[in-house]
A and B are shown apart, each in its own frame.
Chain A
Amino acid sequence: MDALNNLFVNIAAAIRGLFADSHSFGADLSINIIVFIMLFLIMVVAALFLSLVERKFAHWVSQRSGPNRLGPHGWFQFIADAVKMLGKEDITPANVDKFLFKMAPMMLVGVTLMVFGVIPFGEEMVAIDLDLGILYFFAVSSLTTLGILMAGWASNNKYSLLGGLRAVAQMISYEIPLIFSLLGVVMITQTFNLSAIIEAQKTIPFIFLQPLAFLIFLIAGIAETNRAPFDHVQGEQEIVAGPFTEYSGLRWGLFMLAEYGNVVATSAIAVTMFLGGWYGPEFLPGWLWFILKIWLVIFLMMWVRWTFVRMRIDHLMHFAWKILLPLALVNIFLTGLGIYVYDLFIVRIGG
C-alpha cells in the first residue's frame, strides 16, 4: 500500500535520479515540464470525462436518453465529442476585436491550469507547494472573470456583451463570500498552505467543524463556475450562449474545457479545505481518495444543477450580499469564539 500511495512521488524521484545531481537546474526543469504536462492532461481528461458524466447524470435525474451509442452504454462518447470539436471550422466573425477574441479562450484555460498548480493531489504530490496557496487560488481564479469579459467585449455581439457584464457582476460578488467562507479554516489551522491544511485534518475533516462554511463555499463555488442555478453568464434561454455566442470549433471547446476545469478545481479546493484531502480508510491510496472526493463534490454540484432552475438576476445579487456574506461573517465570528473557548479551557486543562 505504501508503494502505491507514493507511486507518483517515487516516479518523480526516479526521474530525478537519472540526473547526476538530482537537484540541478536540468532535473528541476524536466520535472516541471513533466508535471505541467501531467496537470494539463489531468485537466483535459477530467473535463472531457465530466462533459460525458454530466449528460449521464442528466439521463439519470431527468429520465432522458443521454449518450448511449458509442461504446458500452455510451461511455466512449467523449472521445467522439473531442474529435468532432477538433474538426470543426474555426470562425472569426468580421468586426470582432481579433486580438482579444483569440486571447480570451487561451487565457481562460491558462488561468484554470494555473489553479491546478497548487492542488495537493496526495502527500507531497503538489506541483508548487506555496505557503500562500489559498491566496494564490483566489488571485488566479478571479482572473477568469477577465477572460469572460474579454470574450464578451471582443465578440461585438449584444448577447455576448450582456453575458460579459453579467459575469463581472456575478463573479466579483460571489468571490467575497467564497473567500470569507474559507477564513474559518485558515483561522483554525493558522496557515495558508494547502498541504498543511490537509495534514491538520488527519483526525477530523473540517466539514464537521465548519459545516456552514462548507455550504457557503459550495454555493459560492457553483456561482463562481457559472453553473445552474447561477448560470446567468451563459443563460442559454436569454442571451443564447452569452460571451461564447460567437465562438466555434476548438475555441469554443477551450471555453468548455476551462469551465469544466474550473468545476474540478473548485471541487478540489473544497476537498482540500473541508473533506480531509487525501485522508481516508487505508485500503485505497491517498491520491485515489482525493479524486473520489472530488467526484463526490462534483456530483453534489450536478445534483443541484439538474434540480434547480435559474435564479432571478436581481435576487442573485441580494443572495450574495445580503445572505451569503453575513452568514460567512457569522461563521468567522463563531470560529473565533470557538478557538478562544478552546484555548481558554480545553488547552489549559489538558496542558
Chain B
Amino acid sequence: MMIEGTQEYSLNMGPQHPSTHGVFRMVVHLDGEVVTKVEPKIGYLHRGLEKMAESRTYTQFIPYTDRLDYLAGPHNSLGYVQAVEKLMDTEVPERAEYLRIIFAELGRIASHLVMIASGSLDISGWTPWSYCFRDRERILDLFEMTAGNRMTPNYFRIGGVSQDVPEEFMPALKSFLEDMPEMIEEYYGIFFGNEIAQSRMKSVGILPKELAENLLITGANLRASGVQYDVRKAEPYGIYDRFDFEIPVLYGCDTYDRHFIRLLEIQESKKIIEQAYKDIPAGPVMTKVPKVLKPPVGKVYHRVENPKGEMGWYIVSNGSTKPARVRIRTGAFVNVQMLPEIVKGWKIQDLVTIFASMDLVLGEVDK
C-alpha cells in the first residue's frame, strides 16, 4: 500500500554486491524499505559448459563438472561419471564406490557448511561464519591430500576414481567425524539457538508446500517445505541403497527451516560416511576401461541429489569420442524462480536473508 505522494523506486542489487553470493543480479522494486517486486537476472557467470562438453572427450570433461556447483565439486562429477558409466555399462570396483560416497558426502557437508556460514554472514553473524569455514577447511584438506585440489578435486573417473586415498586420509577422516557432534553443537549455540537470529529467520519468506511442488523446487529447499523427497532414497544411485540414513524433513517452510535442515542433513551425511568408513573394502579403485572411450550410440539420463537440489545429466552419444549433446539440469537454476514468489512484502533486509536461504551457487545457475 503506497502512501499518496510517494513513489516506488528500483534498486539494482548486484552483480557486484556483498551478499548476492557471486554475480547474481536482482532488480528490486522498493516502496521505502519494503520489497514490492524482484526480477532475478542471471547469466553473468555463463561459461557455456554444455557446449564445451561437445568439443571435449568424455574424460576431458570431468574437471569442468567440478566447476558447476564449485562448493560441492565431487557430487557434480559423480553425476556425470555415473551417467557415462550407465551409457557404457561399466562396472565400478567396490572400493571406488565407497570412496565416491565418502567424497560426495564430504562435499555435501562442505557445501552445507558454506550455506550456513554465508546465511549467518548475511545477517551479520561473523563468528558463526568463521566457525563453519574453519571446519570446512578440514574437509578441503582431506580433498587436497587425496586429489591435490581443494575445492574442485577432480577425483572421479569413468570406471572408478583417479587414485587410492593416501595412508593419512582415513585417520584424518575419523578424527573429523569424531569432532563433528561438537561442531554442530557450536553452530547451534551461536547461530541457530540465538534469539536474534531466530527472530530474523522464523516465519520469514514462507515457501508453501504447493508452491514448492509447482515450481519444481528440489533439494533441501523442498524438504524444508514439508516434502520428504530425496533422489538418494527415491531412486538410489551408486551404492546409496546400502546405507542406513534418514531424509530429514521440516514443515516450517520459512527461512529458518531452510537453514536448519542443512544442519540436519549434515548429521545424516555423517551417518553415511561413518558406515562407509566402517565397511570400505580393500581392492582396486579403477576398473579396466579402454584408453579411448567410445560409448555406444544412445542416450542416457541420470540424476543425483546434489547439495543444491536435483542434478540431472542427459548425455547423447553418437558413437564418437565426444558426446553429441550434454544437457545439465541443475537444482539451483530451477530454484531461482522461487525468489520473486516469496519475497513480496518483506523488507530489503529480509530479501538478503531469503536469498541466502535458497542456497544458490552461481556456477550452477549460469552453467
Which residues on A are within 8 Å of B, measured CB to CB? Answer: 58, 61-64, 158-159, 162, 166, 228-229, 231-232, 235-240, 306-315
Contacts and interface: CB of A to CB of B under 8 A. Distances in A.
6 contacts: A237-B122, A240-B17, A309-B124, A310-B349, A311-B200, A313-B33
Given A231-B124, A237-B122, A64 B130 contact: yes
Interface centre among B33, B123, B347, B349 (most CB of A within 10 A): B349
B9 to A, nearest CB: 7
A238 B190 contact: no
A219 to B, nearest CB: 12
A259 to B, nearest CB: 16
Contact of B349 (A159, A228, A313): A313
Given A62-B130, A62-B131, A63-B130, A237 B18 contact: yes
Contact of B124 (A162, A236, A314): A236
Contacts of B120: 309
Interface stretch (B191-199, B233-241, B307-315): B191-199
A35 B116 CA distance: 50
Classify chain B's interface size. Answer: 20 to 34
Interface in B96-144: 120-127, 129-131, 134
Interface string B265-294: 000000000000000000000000000000
B11 interface: yes
B196 A229 contact: yes
B352 interface: yes
B231 interface: no
A306 B126 contact: yes
Contact of A237 (B9, B11, B19, B190): B19
B18 A236 contact: yes
Given A238-B349, A312-B350, A158 B200 contact: no
A315 to B, nearest CB: 6
B123 A237 contact: yes
Interface in B57-75: none
A314 B348 contact: no
B58 to A, nearest CB: 42
Contact of A306 (B9, B18, B127, B194): B127
Given A306-B127, A307-B127, A313-B349, A162 B196 contact: no
A237 B131 contact: no
Given A158-B11, A162-B33, A235-B349, A310 B123 contact: yes
Interface in B181-196: 190-191, 194, 196
A227 to B, nearest CB: 10
